[in-house]
Amino acid sequence: MVAVVDAEKCDGCGTCVDECSTGAISIVDEIAVVDEDECVDCEVCVDACPNGAISMSE
């Protein structure tokens, strides 16, 4: 599993970046981007996103 960002819902607020303990998420062109190699499937970003823009996918 890996975190996936819905670019239409993401407003680039950075909450997920602040909450990600592995540094797997960054903001690029005002949209969150997940480094799949660094993501550990903890789902903290899913719960933290105020816009519901992040989900888990296989």
What is the average pLDDT score of the chain?
A: 97
Which residues of the chain carry a pLDDT beneath 50? none
Q: Which fold has domain 2-57?
A: Alpha-Beta Plaits (3.30.70)
Please tell me the distance from the alpha carbon of residue 30 to that of residue 14, in angstroms, as a whole number. Answer: 9
Give the up-direction half-sphere exposure of residue 4: CA atoms within 13 A in the CB hemisphere. Answer: 6
Specify the pTM: 0.91
Q: What pLDDT was estimated at residue 58? A: 87
Q: Where are the domains of the chain?
A: 2-57
Residue 57, beta-bridge partner list: 2
- At 27-36, the pLDDT tens digits run 999 999 999 9
